[in-house]
Homo-oligomer: A and B are copies of this chain.
Amino acid sequence: MASHIEWELYRSFLAVLTEGSLSAAARALGIAQPTVGRHVAALERALGMPLFTRSQTGLSPLESASSLRPLAEAMRSAAAALERAAASQGAGVRGVVRVTASEVIGVEVLPPIIAGLREAHRDLRIELVLSNRMQDLLQREADIAVRMVRPDQKALIARRIGRIEVGLHARRQYLERHGTPESAADLEAHTLIGFDQPSAFVRAAARSISLQREAFALRADSDLAQLALIRCGAGVGFCQVPIARREGLVRVLARRFRLSLDTWIVMHEDLRNSARCRVTFDALAEGLRAHLAQVASG
């Protein structure tokens, strides 16, 4: 037997959850505030439990509502993906593709690739979602992901790009002023740029190269901020070798500090027959390969 809870109620429910009030949710959905209120009331009646505590400042979710949130978000993601898929039907490469990548890749590497892609396909739209968390694809938050770990889910199509090397770099002017470190011990005299709150990957990496959080004189969680600091000569820090080459940064202690990120492009297999996704997938693969190849020739 099919349940008789209207899906429309879930949408209002989620909007209230994210916006924090009936009025704000109504604005976001483009409907009237009393309507949202009635939807929430109807959902509470249908589920047989209260979901929010009303107040004059808005609605605050009860635990019950919070626990339902991930599922409502899954519905929204699927609905959004469905619209993207529908908008791209028909012949030719057209419609919207959502691409997710890390901040560094998304800012430093992807833009020229995407620009070229757009040049070839004028009806293609790209949405770039930069995030370091990577639980996106199966939730349909994005169509294609550039990831630094081998994907292990069966339902995904993956193509390996190769290993992006990461090393310690500094600006030439900085090294001319402070000298070039020749050993790990020399680093103590330098301004080290590193993480503040380490992510899982960074923790593992830091262990493998034996650098502790305390070693860093300049700390920033944002990889982009770290890169900007290195680039303007603030000190010595980690960045991807291909980017460093392009920027004319000088690598130091290459033998001692060497990490590499296995890079993959991943797509949900449901999108295999989507022209826009295939084209984007291939363009990203080719562009990233060229980006990596730059190291060998540069």
Contacts and interface: CB of A to CB of B under 8 A. Distances in A.
Contacts of A70: 270
A89 B67 CA distance: 9
Contact of A79 (B7, B154, B155): B7
Interface string A186-226: 00000000000000000000000000000000000000000
A64 B49 contact: no
A188 to B, nearest CB: 37
A10 B78 CA distance: 11
A273 interface: yes
Contact of A64 (B4, B68, B80, B89): B89
A279 interface: no
A71 B6 contact: no
A228 interface: no
A10 B82 contact: yes
Interface string A1-42: 011111110110001000000000000111000000000000
A26 to B, nearest CB: 11
Interface residues of A, number: 44
A131 interface: no
Contacts of A68: 82, 85-86
A3 B80 contact: yes
A104 interface: no
Contacts of A80: 3
A72 interface: yes
A58 B179 CA distance: 79
A138 interface: yes
A83 interface: yes
B273 A67 contact: yes
5 nearest A-B pairs in the assembled complex, by CB-CB distance: A7-B7, A152-B152, A74-B78, A71-B82, A47-B86
